[in-house]
């Protein structure tokens, strides 16, 4: 997850990652909350087709973004034509 988060920061300047979890999905809720550092931001009533509510969850990436150096184009490649008249 950290590798994917870093890629989102580097390529899209992402500030957070968000997802939805069924309120009844305790295993997923535990994984996202306790292992992957997501926080519940709100409850979305009747989010799913069967009427079940969802937790909207976010993982803040701002601290990680401070640690990730921006990726630039790098130095230009040497020309194969240098010195050719």
pLDDT tens digits, 14-68: 899 999 999 999 999 999 999 999 999 999 999 999 999 999 999 999 988 787 6
Evaluate if pTM is beyond 0.75: no
Task: Say if 64 falls within a structural domain.
Answer: yes
* 3-class SS of residue 63: helix
Q: What angle do CA 35, 36, 40 make, to 5 degrees?
A: 105
Q: What is the DSSP letter of 30?
A: H
Q: How many CB atoms lie under 10 A from the CB of residue 80?
A: 7
Report yes or no: 9 and 59 within 8 Å, Cβ to Cβ.
no
Per-residue pLDDT at 63: 85
Distance CA 85, CA 37 (A): 60
Task: Say if 81 falls within a structural domain.
Answer: no
Count of structural domains, the chain: 1
Range of the domain at 1: 1-68
- CATH number, domain with residue 13: 3.40.630.30
Strands (E), the chain: 16-22, 39-44, 54-60
């Amino acid at each position: 997850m950290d590798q994917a988060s870093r890629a989102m920061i580097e390529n899209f300047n992402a500030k957070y990652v968000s997802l939805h979890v069924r309120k009844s999905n305790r295993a997923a809720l535990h994984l996202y909350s306790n292992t992957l550092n997501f926080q519940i931001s709100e409850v979305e009533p009747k989010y799913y087709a069967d009427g079940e509510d969802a937790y909207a969850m976010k993982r803040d990436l701002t601290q990680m973004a401070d640690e990730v150096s921006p990726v630039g184009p790098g130095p230009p490649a040497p020309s194969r034509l240098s010195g050719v008249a």
